[in-house]
Amino acid sequence: MKIRGYTLIEVLVALLIFAILATLVMGGLVSILSVRENQRQYVVKTLALQRFWAIIERDLTQIIQRPITNNLGVREAAIVVQQTPTTQLLTFTRAGHINPMMQARRSTLQRVRYELQGSQLIRQSWRVLDQVGNPIPQSQILISNIANLQWQFYDDNNRVYSVWPPINTIQKQLPRAIACQVTFNNRQQMRRLFILPERQIVLSQTTS
């Protein structure tokens, strides 16, 4: 019995079919991996945003009327807003800094500052309120890729101010509410309004 081998044309056709199938498979695999990576990045960004707003909510809804003495020995209000060419520095005193069974030698009050450095929002916190001796704060990056950050302050009549206390007033009490508006580098804007001291978010807006 004579065994017939494959001709060159048959081999070339088989290789061509294999190459086509391999291309289709690789294209599908690349597409699947791309979708998975996009989903992973979306989840990471979503979790980062949720954590970001949760920390701000926790801080702002626990602001209390507790002035401090700063590192220069000068009395400083419970809330201090400092304007810079690019952003506002928001510094305040908050309660609720957990200290179970008073094991740590510190208060349950905390001095906190939010500052936009470049495209990163930095949260600084001090373990002591009165800062004689210039204690070093703990710094934490809350979120990145920020183009602009604005704080707004509401009084009891729902008038809106960019600083607190309002200029040319003797307002000593805390604002009724504080709004935080963030513009990201992709031009997406998010805004949250926090009521003091009821500790609840009453407004949530997202635009792109």
Q: Domain containing 107 — which CATH number?
A: 3.10.610.10
pLDDT in tens, 130-157: 877 777 889 999 999 999 899 999 988 8
pLDDT bracket for residue 83 (50, 70, 90):
confident
Average pLDDT of 112-138? 87
Residue 92 lies in a domain: yes
Residue 3 lies in a domain: no
Residue 171 lies in a domain: yes
Residue 74 lies in a domain: yes
CA dist list (Å): 83 to 11, 72, 80, 151, 201 = 76, 20, 10, 11, 25
Closest CA to 146 of 174, 172, 112, 182: 182
**What pLDDT score does 98 carry?**
59
- Tokens 């939010």 belong to 114
Range of the domain at 68: 59-207
Average pLDDT of 45-66? 91
% pLDDT > 90, the chain: 26
Residue 19 lies in a domain: no
Closest CA to 94 of 138, 58, 119, 50: 58
* All residues at 6 or more sequence positions from 118 whose CB lies less than 8 Å from its CB, including other chains: none
Residue 189 lies in a domain: yes
Q: What is the pTM of this model?
A: 0.72
Closest CA to 126 of 87, 102, 94: 94
- Domains contained in the chain, number: 1
